[in-house]
Chains A and B, each alone.
Chain A
Amino acid sequence: MTLTEAAESTTRRQPVEAARVDKRGRLFNWICAIVLILFALIWLVPVLWALDTALKPNEETTRTTWLIENPTFDAFGRVLRDTDILRWFGSSVVIACLTTIGVVLTGSMAAYALSRMRFRYRNVLFWGILAGIMIPGQVLIVPQFREMDTFGLLNTFWAVSLVQIPTAVAVFIFKQFFDGLPRELEEVARMDGAGYLRIYARIIMPLARPAVAAVAIFAFVSSWNDLLWPLLVLSNPDIMTIPVGLATVQGAFGIRYADTMASAILGAVPLVAVFLLFQRNIVEGIAGTGLKG
């Protein structure tokens, strides 16, 4: 039986059958929901446990219990006072913003040229960029490090950002999006004497807001959470990012578990806060970029 036939026959049999299916379906849905909620709770446990521990005084953390006898925010205060976490936060913001702006600007400009202009070797260039998606950045750390050393850029924000900016996936996503945009508006603007830059800035980019959001979110999150590369090029504690900073103080707290967990929570808070605000956009942005990447 084909689907259309099935769809047609539904109209006739609906009343009796639908009731039966509904009952069975509802039971199934209940079981599904319970299983899912159970797993979702399990998934929340580690973060809740960290939060719970951070709210205990250090002495209480030697007992493995969810009960907190003397809840206190002292651990957070100590971490803020004794580590450079606020400074790392500043570095992370600067680097992630620099990278995000760079990825969006260079990627969209290149994609605009590839999508709307005709020039020699266009296809060669496009395939060349596409092939770059295959190169995992981690494979390049050794030569990239020497390069940054030669340029005298070690321990600068640029050392981290510059290698993160040329993202082939971003060009690909922008080009796909631009290819799907209608050309009529541009034709009209061109007749009014608008140049490429004007069309790019005033017509294309505003229309491409969903693509910009997706690429920007992806670039921001991956830059913010990157560990290996900033670990290599930032050895100066003053400009470390949050992941690098936390990696270096790991173990420094010893058995002061409340402090350790407080530092983890503080390291997580900025991005989690952004996530809670833009949950839907972030999830869709990352799914979209991942699907096309």
Chain B
Amino acid sequence: MSSTTETSVRQKDEAPAHRTKPQRSERHGRPAAAFLAPFVILYLLFIIGPALYGLVMSFFNTSLVRPGLGSFAGFGNYAEALQSPDFWSSLWHTLWFTILTTPPLILLAFVFALLADRARYGRWFYRLAFFMPFILPSAVVALIWVFIYTPELGLLQAALAKIGITSPVWLGDPSWAMPSLAITTIWWTLGFNFVLYLAGLQEIPRELYEASAIDGASPWQQIWRITVPLLGRTTTLVAVLQVIASLKVFDQMYLMTQGGPNFATRSILQYVYDEGFTNFRTGYAAAISMLFFLIVLAVSAVWFGIVRRQEKGA
């Protein structure tokens, strides 16, 4: 019964495709337009439009406080950005932050998910502990962690003092500020990767473990021979999402160090914010945004290449 309906549907779908293709394309034109309109209009108006506007703006000396585009600048904004030490240092801070956060966020999330997947009891507790921070607003995270990092009476220095370690001035020391922000970020966002890994682990058939266990594989061998290879795709996904999320960092710096001390933690997005909305140099800020966009695109392209390779290999 079901197979006959299927074939009849397929026939209906395919038969006219050869004979009256243009007519068929038009057939759903009007209702399709009606259903698409709300999304497409908003999408053009608030995503594509601004993207193009931003691109145009990046070639002009546009100012936030004057109407219009301002005078034509050619590649002047781009040249200025590429020659500006501020641009390069904020780019470096962003990369440094990404380097500090990405490996632990992938590794710890993987290990925690692996352990939680083996646990028989209390999964809700692990999910609560690791995932709850992720749904806290950044402002709440900042309030809590600034207090934890406080010199003299912060929890962290007190805990370290107990085991005989003298803490640095976490957020106040230019070389410790970024690692401090990284620690906070690892605590805050690990839950997201944890959950992605848990979902990936649940797709591995249990029989694989049972079979290998009876063949005498130790749990350690199981992890290296079964779990890690089968989670390869999850890992590339987690990695690219993590790299892009880390490159887009803004909240933690803005809230916890204001880019300081002495601009040591100013990220690229905060540089855009400072130039565009504090110095009113909208055109210049748009040009930095475009350069930043290119970096994110490059990361996505690398990821796309890896995924295609993996799919071919599989």
A binding-site residues for B, Cβ under 8 Å: 1, 3, 6-7, 9-10, 13-14, 17-18, 21, 24-25, 28-29, 32-33, 35-36, 39-41, 43-47, 49-50, 53, 61-64, 102, 105-107, 109-110, 112-114, 117-120, 122, 125, 129, 132, 134-136, 138-147, 162-163, 165-166, 168, 171, 183-184, 187, 195-196, 200, 221, 224-225, 227-228, 232, 242-247, 250, 257, 260-261, 263-264, 267-268, 271-272, 275-276, 279, 282-284, 286-288, 290-291, 293
Contacts and interface: CB of A to CB of B under 8 A. Distances in A.
B147 A261 contact: yes
B126 A117 contact: no
5 contacts: A29-B120, A33-B115, A141-B273, A196-B31, A250-B146
B147 A120 contact: no
A250 B255 contact: yes
B314 interface: no
Nearest to B195: A287
A139 B293 CA distance: 6
Q: Is the interface of A mostly helix, strand, loop or mixed?
A: helix
Contacts of A13: 214
B214 A9 contact: yes
A225 B137 contact: yes
A105 B42 CA distance: 12
Contacts of A64: 153-155, 158
A63 B153 contact: yes
Interface stretch (B43-51, B78-86, B96-104, B174-182): B43-51
B155 A25 contact: no
B89 interface: no
B306 interface: no
A85 to B, nearest CB: 11
A138 B248 contact: yes
Contacts of B251: 227-228
Contact of B50 (A110, A143, A242): A143
B277 A110 contact: no
Nearest to A260: B143
B54 to A, nearest CB: 4
Contact of A3 (B195, B199, B208): B208
B203 to A, nearest CB: 10
A36 B42 CA distance: 45
A135 B31 CA distance: 29
Given A120-B29, A134-B296, A275 B135 contact: yes
A43 B130 contact: yes
B118 interface: yes
A21 B54 contact: no
Contacts of A245: 139
Contacts of A200: 35
B165 interface: no
B124 A106 contact: no
B31 A117 contact: yes
